[in-house]
């Protein structure tokens, strides 16, 4: 059988589009996985007493400037909600950090330690799924880059394309499951987590959006790769049929 040529420029263009989407998905996923800004919010904490030179709205004031005198009767001005201050926090898969009142910097704790014991297995499954998601994305990107640079055989490129499509689809499914499991764990931690962490108000942040953007790019790369595979197969069939008809016309023998 004679090899059937398939336009290399079109194949490389579609492979480049799939590789760009896969690489973008990988970059988004790694950034979101290493970030602690999946969720942001505030929680109400009691104000500390003003000591020394500390003044302002973030500590409880006394009526006497001599706050250290034990003989003076001290009156607290703050009542009701004025006795509390909103402390901002942000949380991710690995850490949950809160701002320090009347100070600079943040105090971070492991998010795994904050998760209820009944939900820690689900969180670990989410972490394992995220790691596998990143590894599969990396494998798919490597295969697509090999396909772009590999011009000697169209059939070998077609095999690499098929394998990269399977890997990218599996990565997308794992990423979706991982993101959904983390969402469930975080909501359970908000309701059943320790009292000194439960937020008063919270919402999903940029890392969470970036994780789902990575999933969208992954599925777009999978669709592009499958579409490229289908088009290449159809081109092979069309070229083969055209070649077969031309051979019949050129080498038609007369009837005996």
Q: What is the pLDDT of residues 196-250, one digit of tens each?
A: 888 888 999 999 999 999 999 999 999 988 887 777 766 666 666 666 666 666 5
Question: By the 8 A CB rule, do 21 and 69 touch?
Answer: no
Query: Can you read off the two tokens belonging to residue 212?
Result: 């789902």
Q: How far is CA 121 from CA 109, 128, 162, 195, 225, in A?
A: 19, 11, 34, 21, 34
- The whole-number average pLDDT for the span 167-192 is 93
What's the pLDDT tens digit per position in 131-161? 999 999 999 999 888 877 765 566 667 778 8
* Orientation angle between helical segments 8-34 and 154-192, nearest 10 degrees: 20
Strands 201-204 and 95-99: unpaired
Spatial CB neighbours of 143, under 8 Å, sequence gap ≥ 6: 160, 163, 164, 167
Distances (CA, A) of 55 to 84, 101, 184, 193: 15, 12, 41, 32
CB neighbours of 188 closer than 8 A, spacing ≥ 6?
115, 116, 119
Q: Give the Cα separation of 187 and 209 in Å (integer).
A: 16
Return the H-helix or E-strand segment holding 49: none
What band does 47 get if pLDDT is binned at 50, 70 and 90?
Answer: low
| Contact predicate 172/206, CB 8 Å | no
**Mean pLDDT estimate for the chain:** 78
- Residue 77 contacts residue 63 (beta carbons within 8 Å): yes
* More reliable by pLDDT, 158 or 16: 16
SS3 state of residue 238: helix
């Amino acid at each position: 059988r004679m090899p059937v040529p398939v336009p290399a420029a079109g194949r490389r263009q579609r492979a480049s589009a799939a590789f760009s989407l896969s690489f973008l998905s990988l970059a988004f996923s790694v950034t979101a996985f290493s970030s602690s800004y999946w969720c942001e919010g505030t929680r109400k904490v009691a104000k500390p007493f003003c000591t020394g030179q500390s003044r302002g709205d973030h500590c409880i004031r006394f009526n006497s400037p001599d706050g250290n005198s034990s003989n003076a009767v001290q009156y607290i001005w703050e009542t009701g909600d004025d006795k509390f201050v909103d402390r901002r926090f942000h949380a991710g898969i690995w850490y949950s950090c809160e701002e320090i009142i009347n100070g600079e910097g943040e105090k971070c704790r492991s998010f795994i330690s904050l998760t209820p014991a009944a939900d820690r297995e689900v969180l670990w499954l989410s972490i394992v799924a995220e790691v596998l998601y990143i590894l599969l994305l990396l494998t798919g990107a490597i295969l697509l880059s090999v396909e772009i640079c590999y011009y000697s055989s169209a059939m070998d490129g077609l095999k690499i394309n098929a394998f990269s499509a399977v890997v990218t689809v599996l990565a997308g499914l794992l990423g979706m499951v991982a993101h959904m499991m983390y969402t469930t764990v975080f909501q359970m931690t908000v309701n059943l987590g320790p009292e000194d962490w439960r937020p008063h108000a919270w919402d999903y942040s940029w890392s969470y959006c970036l994780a789902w953007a990575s999933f969208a790019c992954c599925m777009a790369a999978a669709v592009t790769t499958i579409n490229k595979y289908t088009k290449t197969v159809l081109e092979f069939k069309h070229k083969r049929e055209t070649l077969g008809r031309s051979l019949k016309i050129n080498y038609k023998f007369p009837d005996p």
